[in-house]
């Protein structure tokens, strides 16, 4: 494929197919905000014969004084605009009220102790507690709120030694993916000197004797550019308690494979270290193991190609149980005896079903299986030879998480949530199958006032796609309902029902909340995922646009009342939908989005996303990418929806340059008076570990922005805030 510069406009134009029947008038009445002047530079790149301009390349340098001045200037414009919205303060106050409820994690048990986190309501970070008996008074073990006065240091992970004596805990500062691991004596509550750095995308796996653990790390980066430099050559190490990190033992690496990543897990019986090797974000793995009972045992490759996903569940002696999509796109359970590992000897324990297998563990010598049935949870228990035992009764259409433990445990815990049910923690008796409430929060609202319905609609190519529509009861189909359509559509990630005080506040304001289960996600297995990747990525945008069209055609809302939102890959979704159908939406909020589809692989872990997106370095994939890349499909003289781009200065997953460049280009292209703003948070990252206070402020800005741009009923918004 060799295209001349003159043909680029024609290639880009093929992605825009506005429906005149839905088109909004391009209003130039009034004046939008006055934006800072963003300089353009003469930067071009030649992609397989096509020359593409990149005039805002200088914004990729987040450390330059010039970029920092631009960030400050943009934030001043955005904050001034938001401050002039009279309902914003009332919304913030109501969000604070709704957020102020107890939230618990699913308990885990190790060494005769239970561990779980609790947030009393408005704490910036959840606090870790332990107790020996479920009826005991919980004892505070670790309060992350004391690690930083502003709550920007978060607990990123915990792992307790098998004897229950030591806690390995990971912390992340300002939302960065970089973690540090520290050790705490559980009895005394005091930290040990051990300090592990440069950890990223890692588990922590203790040996049975509690003398050390396995973890994954990268080489030490350059301090000045650690939030942007590409991450290659991950390595798996063993750390022995009481020794410096410099003495850690390298267990596994591949100097010939810079893109391979390694995750270590020890079996509950302590005999094996399971090493799962990944390449990018594709759910296709290699699996190796090391016999820890033999001091000089070598790492043995059990599955030595990337042909499918293999999620290790547990072992019974030399028999390893896996959940896999090998010859089963919706997954099945297999058993592999490592003494005779050839595929001809694999045994199918649970066959693929019509529903998607989303999780599995062995508890009480039984397999506990979580399935997704049209994006909602179903839990089934079967014997180790696959015979049905029971289905666990759930409260309604919702999502469960947890259901883990050890093979000999007779109990497990799980959480249940739905769009209108705050997350409740249940204890499941594995002998009787009965669930009892362990912790149930109380939120100041009446769930009976709201309803959830699941609607299937037809996408552009005839595919049936589901979406959840949540609102107050008695929704009037008059086309006047302010509606927020949310989506993701990528990386095999499933969007399932979940409670959110933010979304509850939106519905109190009279809004409708909609979640579309787009291709590219994992709701219907690997085939559904693959149908939204690489050369088929346009399917994801078509699905999202199809959801919006259904909502308009069925008078749930109208283009003048419809907003779209999404984060990360969902930010890309919003950017692509905005550029392809600017007539269909009144407002758009792309958060921490991947906006430059030609250069995403050049920063931090972006190279790993080529398994979903493809790469501009491949001619055919470049042709697909340039057709939908949000940054490259903004067209001068177009009336775009009111847009508030959100990002953060410490986002080292999707570097903020994506949002910087997109916002600058969108401001330059906008022909109408609708605002194009960018909200740049400080001491924050991609989203994980964000303090409660920052979450509330961000949501207040989001709903405040939409209340103005969708011309929401002032009385309804104010009344919601006054509750």
Q: CA 294 to CA 291: how far, in whole Å?
A: 6
The answer to whether residues 531 and 438 belong to one domain is no
Mean pLDDT for the chain overall: 92
Looking up tokens 């969000």 gives: 95
The answer to whether residues 387 and 482 belong to one domain is no
Q: CA 313 to CA 405: how far, in whole Å?
A: 11
Are 27 and 673 spatial neighbours (Cβ–Cβ below 8 Å)?
yes
Are 392 and 381 spatial neighbours (Cβ–Cβ below 8 Å)?
yes
Residue 210 makes CB contacts below 8 A (sequence gap 6+) with 161, 162, 163, 165, 166, 241
The 8-class DSSP code of residue 528 comes to H
Q: CA 505 to CA 716: how far, in whole Å?
A: 11
The answer to whether residues 495 and 509 belong to one domain is yes
| Structure-token pair, residue 460 | 């552009």
The answer to whether position 122 is within a domain reads no
- For helices 692-709 and 65-83, the axis angle rounded to 10 degrees is 60
Spot the catalytic one: 529, 601, 658, 686: 686
Are 445 and 100 spatial neighbours (Cβ–Cβ below 8 Å)?
no
Query: Within 10 A of 464 (CB to CB), how many other CB atoms are there?
Result: 8
Q: What is the dihedral of CA 623, 627, 629, 633, to 10 degrees?
A: 140
The answer to whether residues 435 and 580 belong to one domain is no
392 pLDDT band, cuts 50/70/90, is: very high
What is the structure's pLDDT at 3?
Answer: 30
- What is the span of the domain harbouring residue 368? 356-442
Are 558 and 584 spatial neighbours (Cβ–Cβ below 8 Å)?
no
Spot the catalytic one: 568, 629, 659, 707: 568
The answer to whether position 240 is within a domain reads no
Nearest CA-CA partner of 34 in 676, 709, 718, 683:
676
What is the structure's pLDDT at 110?
Answer: 95
pLDDT tens per residue across span 623-659: 999 999 999 999 999 999 999 999 987 767 889 999 9
The 10 Å CB-count burial string (b at 16+, else e) for 297-335 is eeeeebbeebebbbbbbbbeeeebbbbbbbebbbbbbbb
Of the listed ranges 70-84, 510-524, 641-655, the least confidently predicted one is 641-655
What is the structure's pLDDT at 186?
Answer: 97
- Strands 512-516 and 483-486 come out as parallel
- For the stretch 211-216, contacts whose Cβ atoms lie closer than 8 Å and that sit 24 or more positions apart, written own/partner, are 211/240, 211/241, 212/238, 212/239, 212/240, 212/241, 213/159, 213/161, 213/168, 213/238, 213/239, 214/238, 214/239, 214/251, 214/264, 214/266, 214/273, 215/181, 215/239, 215/264, 216/261, 216/262, 216/263, 216/264
The answer to whether residues 502 and 573 belong to one domain is yes
Query: Does residue 5 surpass a pLDDT of 80?
Result: no
Q: CA 643 to CA 582: how far, in whole Å?
A: 11
CATH number at residue 473: 3.40.50.1820
pLDDT tens per residue across span 671-685: 999 999 999 987 666
| Structure-token pair, residue 520 | 């590219």
The answer to whether residues 453 and 593 belong to one domain is yes
CA angle in degrees (0–180, nearest 5) for 497-503-505: 145
The answer to whether residues 591 and 564 belong to one domain is yes
The answer to whether residues 430 and 450 belong to one domain is no
Instruction: Classify 497 as helix, strand or coil.
Output: coil
Q: Which helix or strand (DSSP H or E) is residue 696 part of?
A: helix 692-709
The answer to whether position 658 is within a domain reads yes
Domain end position, chosen among 385, 415, 442: 442
Instruction: Classify 329 as helix, strand or coil.
Output: coil
The 8-class DSSP code of residue 36 comes to P
Helix, strand, coil shares of the chain as percentages rounded to 5? 25, 35, 45
Q: How much of the chain exceeds pLDDT 70, in percent? A: 94
The answer to whether residues 458 and 437 belong to one domain is no
The full 3-state SS of 56-121, as one line of letters, equals: CHHHHCCCCHHHHHHHHHHHHHHHHHHHCCCCHHHHHHHHHHHHCCCEECCCEEECCEEEEEEECC
Of the listed ranges 189-193, 701-705, 716-720, the least confidently predicted one is 716-720
Chain centre distance of CA 719 = 33
The answer to whether residues 435 and 465 belong to one domain is no
Query: Within 10 A of 386 (CB to CB), how many other CB atoms are there?
Result: 15
Query: Dihedral sign, CA of 25, 27, 33, 38?
Result: positive
415 is an active site residue = no
Instruction: Classify 434 as helix, strand or coil.
Output: coil
What is the structure's pLDDT at 721?
Answer: 57
Mean pLDDT of 77-102: 96
The answer to whether residues 428 and 470 belong to one domain is no
Beta strands in 207-299 (DSSP E): 212-217, 235-240, 249-252, 260-266, 272-279, 285-291
The answer to whether position 279 is within a domain reads no
Domain end position, chosen among 442, 470, 494: 442
Domain end position, chosen among 381, 415, 442: 442
Nearest CA-CA partner of 261 in 188, 177, 342:
177
Query: Does residue 16 surpass a pLDDT of 70?
Result: no
Are 369 and 381 spatial neighbours (Cβ–Cβ below 8 Å)?
yes
The answer to whether residues 424 and 481 belong to one domain is no
Q: CA 122 to CA 424: how far, in whole Å?
A: 18
| Structure-token pair, residue 260 | 């391979």
The answer to whether position 557 is within a domain reads yes
Instruction: Classify 560 as helix, strand or coil.
Output: helix
686 is an active site residue = yes
pLDDT tens per residue across span 464-505: 999 999 999 999 999 999 999 999 999 999 999 999 999 999
């Amino acid at each position: 494929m060799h295209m001349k510069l003159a043909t680029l406009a024609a290639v880009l134009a093929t992605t825009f197919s506005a429906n005149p029947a839905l088109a909004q008038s391009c209003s130039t009445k009034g004046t939008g905000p006055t934006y800072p002047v963003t300089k353009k530079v003469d930067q071009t790149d030649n992609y397989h014969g096509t020359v593409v301009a990149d005039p805002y390349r200088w914004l990729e340098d987040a450390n330059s004084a010039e970029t920092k001045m631009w960030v400050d200037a943009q934030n001043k414009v955005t904050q001034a605009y938001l401050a002039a919205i009279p309902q914003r303060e009332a919304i913030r106050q109501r969000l604070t009220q709704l957020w102020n409820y107890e939230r618990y994690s699913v308990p885990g048990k190790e060494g005769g102790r239970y561990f779980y986190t609790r947030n009393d309501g408005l704490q910036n970070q959840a606090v870790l507690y332990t107790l020996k008996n479920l009826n005991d008074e919980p004892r505070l073990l670790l309060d992350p709120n004391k690690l930083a006065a502003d709550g920007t240091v978060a607990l990123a992970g915990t792992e307790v030694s098998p004897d229950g004596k030591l806690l390995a805990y990971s912390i992340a500062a300002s939302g960065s993916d970089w973690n540090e691991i520290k050790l705490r004596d559980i009895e005394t509550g005091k930290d040990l000197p051990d300090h592990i750095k440069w950890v990223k995308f890692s588990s922590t796996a203790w040996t049975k004797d509690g003398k050390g653990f396995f973890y994954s790390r990268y080489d030490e980066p350059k301090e000045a550019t650690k939030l942007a430099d590409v991450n290659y050559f991950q390595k798996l190490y063993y750390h022995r308690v009481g020794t410096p990190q410099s003495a850690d033992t390298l267990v596994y690496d591949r100097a010939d494979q810079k893109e391979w990543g390694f995750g270590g897990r020890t079996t509950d019986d302590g005999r094996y270290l399971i090493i799962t090797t990944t390449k990018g974000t594709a759910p296709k793995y290699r699996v190796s193991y090391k016999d820890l009972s033999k001091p000089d045992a070598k790492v043995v490759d059990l599955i030595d190609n990337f042909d499918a996903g293999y999620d290790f569940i547990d072992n019974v002696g030399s028999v390893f149980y896996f959940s896999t999509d090998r010859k089963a796109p919706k997954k099945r359970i297999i058993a592999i005896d490592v003494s005779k590992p050839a595929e001809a000897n694999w045994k199918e324990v649970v066959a693929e079903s019509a529903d998607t297998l989303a999780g599995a563990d062995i508890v009480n010598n039984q397999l506990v299986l979580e399935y997704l049935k049209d994006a909602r949870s179903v839990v089934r228990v079967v014997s180790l030879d696959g015979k049905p035992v029971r289905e666990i009764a759930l409260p309604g259409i919702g999502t469960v998480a947890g259901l883990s433990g050890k093979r000999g445990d007779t109990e497990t815990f799980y959480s249940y949530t739905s769009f209108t049910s705050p997350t409740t923690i249940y204890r499941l008796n594995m002998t009787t199958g009965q669930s009892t409430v362990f912790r149930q929060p109380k939120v100041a609202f009446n769930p009976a006032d709201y309803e959830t319905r699941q609607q299937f609609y037809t996408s552009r190519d005839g595919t049936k796609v589901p979406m959840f529509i949540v609102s107050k009861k008695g929704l009037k189909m008059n086309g006047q309902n302010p509606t927020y359509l949310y989506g993701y559509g990528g990386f095999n990630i499933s969007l399932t029902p979940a409670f959110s005080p933010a979304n509850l506040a939106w519905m109190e304001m009279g809004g409708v909340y909609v979640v579309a289960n787009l291709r590219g996600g994992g709701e219907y297995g690997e085939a559904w995922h693959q149908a939204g990747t690489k050369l088929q990525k346009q399917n994801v945008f078509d699905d999202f646009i199809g959801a919006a069209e259904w909502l308009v055609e069925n008078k749930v809302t109208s283009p003048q009342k419809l907003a779209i939102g999404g984060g990360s890959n969902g930010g890309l979704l919003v950017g692509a939908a905005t550029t392809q159908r600017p007539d269909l939406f009144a407002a758009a909020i792309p958060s921490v989005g991947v906006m430059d589809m030609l250069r995403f692989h050049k920063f931090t872990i972006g190279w790993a996303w080529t398994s979903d997106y493809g790469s501009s370095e491949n001619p055919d994939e470049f042709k697909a990418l340039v057709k939908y890349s949000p940054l490259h499909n903004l067209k001068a003289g177009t009336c775009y929806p009111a847009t508030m781009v959100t990002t953060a200065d410490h986002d080292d997953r999707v570097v903020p340059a994506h949002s910087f460049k997109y916002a600058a280009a969108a401001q330059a292209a906008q022909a109408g008076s609708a605002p194009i703003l960018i909200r740049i948070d400080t001491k924050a990252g991609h989203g994980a570990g964000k303090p409660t206070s920052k979450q509330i402020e961000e949501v207040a800005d989001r709903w405040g922005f939409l209340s103005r741009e969708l011309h929401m009923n002032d009385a309804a918004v104010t009344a919601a805030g006054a509750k």
